[in-house]
Each structure stands twice: as structure tokens, then as C-alpha cells.
Structure 1
Amino acid sequence: MDSRLAAELPVRRERLFAALEASGIDALFLPPSADLEYLTGVERDLPTFGEISYAHGWVTGAFLVPGSEPLFVLPRMFVLFHLGGSEPGEVVVVNETDDGEALFRAAAARLGRARRVGIGTRTWARTALELQEALPAATFVDGGPIVAVLRRVKSELELELMEVACSIADEAMAATATRVTPGVTMRELQEDVEHELARRGSRTPSFPTHIFSWRGHDSTDPSGLEPIANGECVMFDFGGVHAGYCSDFGRTIVAGEPPEGYLDTYAVMLAAQEAGRAALVPGATAREVNAACRGPIEDAGLDAAFRHRMGHGIGLDVHERPFLSPEDETVLEAGMTFTDEPSLLLDGGFGVRIEDVVVCADGGGRRLNRLPAGPIPGT
């Protein structure tokens, strides 16, 4: 872990403890997650299609109690193979032949007379049930929203790391753009993008790379093996990861000659992105910023083609709250990070999209991406 991030961990936990006490929560249990990484530095594993598990895997996580260091409960194989044998602090190690339930309950009993206990939003059901057995007098609540509020305003260091993640995406797009030609397949472009991300240091794609087009009513074939036609508008949606922080990026490139109306539609999309960015100031609500983004699209009579929201929070997770969408009334603060990603999908026509990461700031959102937003010429 970056030593500078490690130095922020105690401060983050102090903020958490203050939030727990203000909410009347005595303790918080977190499984492996962005929340646990944010507060303890224990890095999440790379995502896989199938679930990886060990004996007593359900115990994996940490108890966080105001005034104390985190208490981890971890299977032996998690310590050995996921943490390289290095214990992250005070740890109850559960071996394969141990009584996992007894050890987990003993660890929970160290919370004392905890009356209200928060549980991370994505805690396994088995773990939650065992917690109820271990602490029968306690009331359990979703602790995820408390940590989410702490995470949504980024420190200067976090913004610096996110800017690196954005630059990785910028460079991957620039390296791939000239490969968008009639006859190439979406699968080939996906492989190119992910190769370019990896060679620039991205730990993993921040979400499944999505490269697609809109042929008047739906996306191209799910296999991605159909050759791209001349004049097809290819939309990119991908991101990289640096020091645990995500980028989320998008551009549209035409293979060959653009279709009629493409440049005018692209100009509307750019105007929408800029209107949303300009509205991203402290004190605005998330829904107001989304409405500002929609304005130029509605003015152009293309509101039916705007099937998305302006964007979403982003950081250690690629999708974080708040969302820049009609239902979200969150009042924004300086240092919150969002995607600015208007897209237009025209019935009977084509699609265009763009996406950058922006930081809420006085005078309007500050872009963390550097690749120009204008149309990228295809070949």
C-alpha cells in the first residue's frame, strides 16, 4: 500500500468512530470490501467470475470499535495467500480444523455489551446470522451508508491517485483509437483496450470493458465477433485502477465515414457534458446537476434519446453514491468525484457517448481526464 495512504488510515478511522458514536452504533463489522480497504488498508482481491472460498471463509472481516484498533477474523488460507502471510494487526486466525463458529463468537464477545452493531452492506448472510447468534441482545443495522458518507469527499492524495487512474484510461484510448476501422470486431477492440490498460500499470479493468454500438434499436451482438461496418459509431466504456482507485471513461469513434447528423448530435452531447460540469459546484443538489446536463439535450429535442443519468460517484468503487440522477437530493461538497457521461441513443439511427471523471469544485467541476472531448477521427 502507498505509504501516504497508510498514513491516512488512522484519520479515516477517527472520522468513522465519530460517525458511529453520533449514530449510536457501538461497533461495525466489515467484510472484504472497498469499505474495509478504505479504513484498514486490507486490499480487495481482483474480481472473478466464480466465487473463491475457503473453509470458514464466512468469518473473513474486521470489527471496528471506537477507541480500539481493528480486530480481524481471518481464515488461515486468507492470511497466507491473500495477505502474503503478513497479518494486518490484531488477528484471530481460523484454521481449517478449528471450530470457526466458536472463534468468531469469541471475537464478537470482545465487543462487550454492544447494543447496536453496524454490518457492512455486502456482508454474507451466514456471517450476519452468526453475528446475531453471538450478540443476541444487539440490534443490527446497515453500516454501509455511514462509511459511504466518509468516502465520498476525497482527500488531495486520493484525487492525485484518481488522476493517475484517469491518465491510464486516456492513454489506453489514444493508443486504441486508430484501430477502429471497418471490419474490426468489438472483441478485438476490447482486448486492445485491456492490453493497453495493463501495460500502463492498471491492476485490473475497473469494471467489465464495454465496447458497443447502437444500430437504431439495440446494441451489437453480445459475442462481439461481428465485424464493424463502415460508418458505425463505436462507443467505448472502460476504466483502469491505480492504488485501488478507479477511473471510468468513454468516447465515441466512427469506423470510416460518419453517418449523417453525427457531428450535430455529438455537439449536443458535448454541450450537455459541459453544462453538467459547470453545474457541479458545492451546494448544488445531485438532481440539479443532472437536470443541467439534460438541458441542452432537451433544448435540441433529443430528450427521448437520453436514456441514462449524467453520472455517479466514483472512487475505490467505480459506482459510488451519490448518483447524479433525478431521484438524488444529496447536497454536493467540494472534493466529491463523479462521472460526467451523457449519451444519446437515437431510434432508427446511431449512438454517441462521452465520459470523464470530474471533481466538484467552486466554479464548476474540474476534469481529471486530459484527453480532448471533441470527436476522435476514425480510419
Structure 2
Amino acid sequence: MPTTPAPFTADDYRARMARAADAAADAGLAGVLVAPGPDLVHLTGYRPGITERLTVLVLAAGQEPVLVVPTLEAPDAEQAPGAAALTVRDWTDGQDPYAATAPLLDVGGRFGVSDNTWAMHLLGLQKQLPGASYVSLTEALPMLRAVKDAHELARLEAAGAAADETYQEILKVRFAGRGETEVAADLAALLKQFGHSQVDFTVVGSGPNGANPHHEAGDRTILHGDMVVLDFGGLKHGYGSDTSRTVHVGEPTPAEQHVHDVVREAQQAGFEEVRPGVACQEIDRAAREIIEEAGYGDLFIHRTGHGIGVTTHEPPYMIEGEEQPLVPGMCFSVEPGIYLPGRFGVRIEDIVTVTEDGGRRFNNTPREMAIVE
């Protein structure tokens, strides 16, 4: 049985916070403000409940990290995995939390703010510090969580392997005559069986529903002769899985097989483009070129990929205009698709990581079309 990875240590979180503070300084920011959400989990290991009370991590180069929390949540904050690497400062109900936070900030500085910060909190800080300005972390520090260390890569690899096991098992169930929601429930149960603590999505797009890339499993009954898009994932050991395969109930028509072959060739082309120094947009271009040459360019209606880590969607993004060069340790999806309205869709997706001399897949199930019953 695979072993559970060792927990991240306070030193791991200390190093992450220091890198974030230094990156902010290099970007001309006075500091970083991190609200509850994936950035806070990545930097501190603290995962508080989302409430109207202000919780914010304040990072600035040359200063000790400070986590501002409501007094009633201070005991939990002090037990967070990264608590030994920061100072917890609490505020009580009835006190102005923004006035309590303001002394930690440069009154005229420009701060990166985590994207999921509540507007009421940002407005409260602006009222206290009218001379400060703010920019989203995705804009200012898009690579904050993008490059994974060896411990993170091991978690992503384990999550990918669990998703692969899920796919191999779902091929054994009956599709024809069952509802999309029934197959989706099977996927969710299998993800849990293979170690996922959280299931984020189980897309089952049968027949014409497969032409909607983000179709949620519905009440449609899957029929013999349907193409079925499967896209599923969640979190294992705190890190994401996300894979797509397209199966067929019974033998496909030559036209269906042709579309699937084009998508498989495009997915392979995108993967083969992965190596250090290549711009993210080149992954999109490589996959899109295959689909355009086959005459389906207008039917590939989304980006080729997205980053993955403590969430299943995060920077970097594999799309035209994204010139960020690939760096070893980056992890992202390669998932081209073709969607024929009213007929069917095809998508094939693997999570890959950038190595020193190329790329490595975390999903390794066959990409050829599987035939199901």
C-alpha cells in the first residue's frame, strides 16, 4: 500500500512565506495580504472556516510574518502547521479589525492581495489606509504557488495515480441504460476509495451533453452509441487530481473515431512541447495547431491547460498570450477538446510536470478510446 507522505514542517512554511515576501519585494510591492483560501493553506497550513470576521496573513520582506485573527479563533491558528514560523495577533469582537491590522502595513505602499479576499475587508483596509494601493496576487505574483517542491510533487503524483485507478475501475461498470448522475456517483465513490479526501467534480457528458465542456452530470440516460466525456478529480493529501478520458458505449462510428484520434494527437503534441524555457502559450499552440489543421479549430473552445496544486485550477494557464516560461516543478493540465453542438464532445486530459529536460505525466491510463457497455 502507498505510504502517507510526511506532513509539511514549520520550516517548509517558513521558507514559503519568505519566498513570497521576497517575490513581492522584487515585484515592487510593500507586502502581501493573504485571506483564508488556497494561498493561506499553501503558506501556513491554516485552513479556517470562512466567516465575516477578518483573518489575514501579512507578509513583507525583512519582517516577521503576522497572522491577524479573531480572538475566538486564535487557539486554532496557534495550532496550525506553520504557526511556529509566524506571530499570531488577535482582535476581539467590538474592536475595529482594520485599525488593528493597519499598523502592520506601509501607509503608502502597494500590496498584493489574495484573489478571494472579501470586498468588505479590502474596503475596510482602504478606509484605514487611503494612501495604500492594492493589486490581485494573480496579477502581481502569478507564480506564487506554481513551482512545486519534491514533497508537493509526490502528493500530486499520488493524486494522479488515484485518479488513474478510478478510471480503470469505472471502465468495468455498465453505462448504457443508466443515468449520468449514477456514473458520476460511481466516480466519486471510487475517488474516495482510492484515497481522495475531497471530490471536487465528476463530469459525465453523454451524447450531446458532451459538447458542453463543463456539463454537470444530469438526468439524461446514457444510450448505446453514445460518446461519453469523463472528467473528474479532487484532493488527495491536500493536492489535486484532474483527468479526462472519452469513452464510447459500443463501437464508435468512423466519424467519432476520427474526432477522438485528432484530440489524442493534439494532446500528445501539447505534451511533447513541455520543457523548461518554453512559454506557456506554446503548449496551447502545439495542441491547437493539430485541431485547426483537421478543420475543427472553431470547436476547440477553451484553453489547453491550467495549473494545479492545493486547488485544481490555478496559474499558470496554457493559453495564447501567456508568455510565462515553463520552469521545472510547474504542474498543469494538457487537455484539448473538440465539441460538436448537438452531437458529442471529446476531451483527453493529463496532469504533467516540467522536468529538467522535458515533461512527465501524472496520468498514465491509455488515451485510446475505450469501449464500455
Residue 344 of structure 2 is matched in structure 1 by 350
CA contact (8 A) 1:59 1:75 kept: yes
Q: Is the 8 A contact 1:109 1:135 kept in 2?
A: no
1:109, 1:134 within 8 Å by CA — same for their partners in 2? no
Match of 2:27 among 6, 16, 23: 23
Question: Using the alignment, how far apart are the partners of 1:327 and 1:112 within structure 2?
Answer: 34
CA contact (8 A) 2:21 2:32 kept: no
Report what 2:233 is aligned to: 239
Q: Is 1:106 aligned to 2:100, yes or no?
A: yes
Q: Give CA-to-partner distance per residue, 1:294-339, whole Å, 9 cap, x none.
A: 2222232232332232211222221122211123222222221110
Kindly, what percent of the aligned residue pairs are identical? 33
Preserved contact between residue 211 and residue 343 of structure 2 (Cα < 8 Å): no
Q: Which moved more, 1:276-285 or 1:357-366?
A: 357-366
Distance apart, 1:30 and its partner CA: 0.8
**Which ranges in structure 1 are unaligned for 5 or more consecutive residues?**
46-51
Q: Does 1:116 align with 2:110?
A: yes
Matched AA of 1:210:
V
Instruction: Report 1:1-379 matches (<5 A).
Output: 2-4=6-8, 6-43=10-47, 53=51, 57-76=52-71, 78-79=73-74, 83=76, 86=79, 88=83, 89-95=86-92, 98-101=93-96, 103-111=97-105, 115-205=109-199, 207-215=200-208, 218-219=211-212, 224-347=218-341, 349-379=343-373
Deviates more, 1:207-216 or 1:241-250: 207-216
Q: Distance in 1 between the 2:44 and 2:216 partners?
A: 39
**Residue segments in structure 2 that go unaligned for 5+ positions in a row:** none
Taking a change above 3 Å as real, the CA distance of residues 14 and 328 of structure 1, as seen in their structure-2 partners, is: same
Change (3 A) 1:221 1:67: closer
CA displacement at 1:126 relative to structure 2: 1.1
**Alpha-carbon distance in 2 for matches of 1:329, 1:194:** 36
Specify the SS of the correspondent of 2:144: helix
Residues 173-212 of structure 1 deviation map (CA, whole Å, 9 limit, x = unaligned):
112122242101110011111111112221212x332111
| Change over 3 Å in CA distance of 1:325–1:26 after alignment to 2 | closer
Q: Which amino acid aligns with 1:208?
A: F
Change (3 A) 1:79 1:345: same
Q: Distance in 2 between matches of 1:237 and 1:359?
A: 19
Aligned residue identity for 1:213: S
Matching residue's letter, 1:7 = D
Does the Cα contact within 8 Å between 1:214 and 1:345 map onto a contact in 2?
Answer: no
Q: Which segment drifts farther, 212-221 or 322-331?
A: 212-221
Contact 1:40 1:70 in 2 (8 A): no
Conserved 8 A contact 2:56-2:67: yes
The SS at the match of 2:185 is helix
Amino acid at match of 2:298: A
Cα offsets for 1:69-119 (capped at 9, x unmatched)? 332222355456xx4883635323344xx2241x44123214465633332
CA deviation map 1:126-179 (0-9, x unaligned): 111121233233233334444432311221221111001111211111121222
Aligned to 1:49: none
Richer in strand (by share): 2
The range that moved more, 112-121 or 235-244, is 112-121
8 Å contact 2:25–2:31 — kept in the other structure?
A: no
Contact preservation (8 Å) 2:210, 2:229: no
Greater alpha carbon shift after TM alignment, 36-45 vs 334-343: 36-45
C-alpha distance 68-243 of structure 1, shift in aligned 2 (>3 A)? farther
Moved more, 207-216 or 305-314: 207-216
Residues 150/112 of structure 1: CA separation in 2 closer, same or farther (3 Å cut): closer
Change (3 A) 1:198 1:136: same
3-state SS of the aligned residue for 1:149?
coil
What one-letter code is carried by the residue in structure 2 that aligns with 1:237? D
Moved more, 347-356 or 240-249: 347-356
Checking the alignment, whether the CA contact within 8 Å between 1:34 and 1:44 is kept in structure 2 is: no
* CA spacing shift, 1:100–1:193, aligned 2, 3 Å: farther
Task: Give SS of 2:370's match.
Answer: coil
